[in-house]
Amino acid sequence: MTEQAAQAIVGDGQAISSPEAPKGSGGSPVKNKREAGTKALPKWEADARDRVRTAVRRYSKPLVDLVARDANEGDTRLLITDFLCEGLGYDKYEDLTTEYQVKGEFADYGIRIDKQLVAFIEVKRCSQKLNAKHLRQVQMYAVNEGVEWMILSNGQVWQVYHMTAGLPVIIDMALEVDLLSDASLAAKTDALFYLTKEAFKRRLIDDLWRARAATSPKSLAQVLLSDVVVEAVRKEVRRQTSYNADVTEIHRILREEVLRSEILS
């Protein structure tokens, strides 16, 4: 991405629409209330959002430069540290722990709120695409330390995952935002607000995660295959075609031919 493109992205916030909303942004309950004309945001939230908005503008140009020169992981980590502090409100000395040791391995960052470890961050170089291997790496840290939240970032893309303990553990993506995408400044701010210290402390991201988990393709597929829905489908097929289909056969067709098998696995 060129410097000119970066400037276009962070211009005045009137930008183009976000391509994939709550991966990074959409569905913010607070934003929807504001648009509906209800009461103003509390001061702490307004201040946090302003801080995030300013940081996204400020760090887009340095981020573009890092990507252009294929900066190493160490340089990427410097930018992420500054963004965590200046954009998301964490204190470098009180809230962040670098090289957090977990059974002989080292997580890039641990985040503490009120001295309680709440998340791990795994950093990759700015030009490296985040993938499942990186998630497994930070997941190991989270499992061993009993931490719910995991963050992957290469400076440009921020992915946030929730881990529910159990056998097996359940991993859900809560949000994803690309700081150099064509999404509007407002959309990026809405997404990153959930990662601020203020929002994390109030566990606002928990609501976002629950909403995404409840409406994930896998969750909706399970609803569609429930007895009550399959029976409703059978009745509707009979109403429209006069054919009284077998419930078991409808369930099989829905599972094997209508829904993608990878969603259900």
Task: List the structure tokens of 216.
Answer: 């994930």
Is 54 or 36 the better-scoring residue by pLDDT? 54
Identity at 248, one-letter amino acid code = T
pLDDT at 35 over 90: no
Q: Does the pLDDT at position 14 exceed 60?
A: no
Span 66-110, pLDDT tens digits: 999 999 999 999 999 999 999 999 999 999 998 887 877 888 999
Count of CB atoms within 10 A of residue 47's CB?
A: 14
Higher pLDDT, 10 or 50: 50
Q: What does residue 121 show for φ and ψ, rounded to 5 degrees?
A: -120, 130
pLDDT in tens, 37-60: 557 999 999 999 999 999 999 999
The pLDDT value recorded for residue 166 is 83
Contacts of 128 (CB under 8 A, 6+ apart): 154
Starting at the earlier edge strand, list the strands of the sheet with 149-153: 96-102, 105-113, 116-123, 149-153, 157-164, 170-178
State the pLDDT at residue 179: 97
pLDDT value at residue 27 = 44
Q: What percent of the chain has pLDDT over 70?
A: 84
pLDDT tens profile 197-243: 999 999 999 998 888 878 878 888 888 999 999 999 999 999 999 99
DSSP letters of 154-177? -SSEEEEEEEE-SSS-EEEEEEEE
pLDDT exceeding 90 applies to what percent of the chain? 66
Distance from chain centroid for Cα 13: 21
Euclidean distance between CA atoms 82 and 76, whole angstroms? 10
Q: 154 — phi, psi (to 5°)? A: -115, 25
Instruction: Give the pLDDT of residue 72.
Output: 93
Burial 142-171 (b: 16+ CB within 10 A, else e): beeeebbbbbbbbbbbbbbbbbeeeeeeee
Q: What was the pLDDT predicted at 145?
A: 92
What integer pLDDT is reported at residue 232 of this predicted model?
93
pLDDT at 38: 58
Contacts with 163 (C-beta within 8 Å, 6 or more apart), sequence order: 139, 142, 143, 147, 148, 149, 150, 169, 170, 171
Is 151 in contact with 120 (CB distance < 8 Å)?
yes
Given a contact cutoff of 8 angstroms between Cβ atoms, the answer to whether 100 and 107 are in contact is yes
For β-strands 149-153 and 116-123, DSSP reports them as: parallel
Tell me the pTM. 0.74
Which position has the higher pLDDT, 22 or 219? Answer: 219
What pLDDT band is residue 129 in, cutting at 50, 70 and 90?
A: very high
DSSP string spanning 133-156? HHHHHHHHHHHHHT--EEEEE-SS
Three-state DSSP at 117 gives: strand
Going by C-beta distance under 8 Å and a sequence separation of 6 or more, which residues neighbour residue 190?
25, 26, 28, 30, 31
